[in-house]
Amino acid sequence: MKEAYRIIFGLQYESWEIRMEVPDKEIFVSQKEAEETVEQADAVGFLTETGIYLLYGNNVYEIVEKENILCEFYQMKPELFERLGPPLGPEDIDQLIKEDRLEETIFSSRYMITENDFEKRSLSIQELYYEILQKYSPTGFPSLPEYPEKKGMPCYIFESIWYQVERS
């Protein structure tokens, strides 16, 4: 018997995270099938001044301010940035591999991040955009057949870092 599932993604840009529910419920035979399908699908979010565009599988969802209920915004606590230090670059990773310490390093308590390392921010989509704009320059919106008029519009790209599948 097929059942409906909610899919939630954690999308990250720098110290910011958007927890976003896919607007449409998905139908699967089992929890396992749902998890395997979602794991294989890519999810990317584009934050613009007026909305968030979620690319998931073959779909593009536009979330505008009044639909903000599908999103929650979080920011890493400052002490986490201090704990993590500068990001590991390709040279750092190469050196850790040579020293056979990559797994030991990336799985150490220093790099383990939990939900306690983030604080929820009560912002609108536009407020989030301007908050990020204070520190980072936007990139151009990609060419999407569904939204050709948006191409080149300033945006921030949020990459998927986790997902959650729940039976509805």
Q: Where are the domains of the chain?
A: 3-76+119-167
Q: What is the pLDDT of residue 67?
A: 61
Q: What is the pLDDT of residue 23?
A: 87
Q: What is the pLDDT of residue 68?
A: 53
Q: What does pTM read for this prediction?
A: 0.83
Q: What is the pLDDT of residue 58?
A: 87
Closest CA to 158 of 85, 52, 21: 52
**Below-70 pLDDT ranges, the chain:** 66-69, 87
Q: Are 9 and 162 within 8 A, CB to CB?
A: yes
Beta strands in the chain (DSSP E): 3-13, 16-21, 26-28, 43-47, 51-56, 59-64, 71-76, 118-121, 139-140, 154-167
Residue type at 68 in one-letter notation: N
Q: What is the pLDDT of residue 69?
A: 65
Dihedral angle computed from the Cα positions of residues 53, 81, 122 and 55, in that order, rounded to the nearest 10 degrees? 10
DSSP state of 123: -
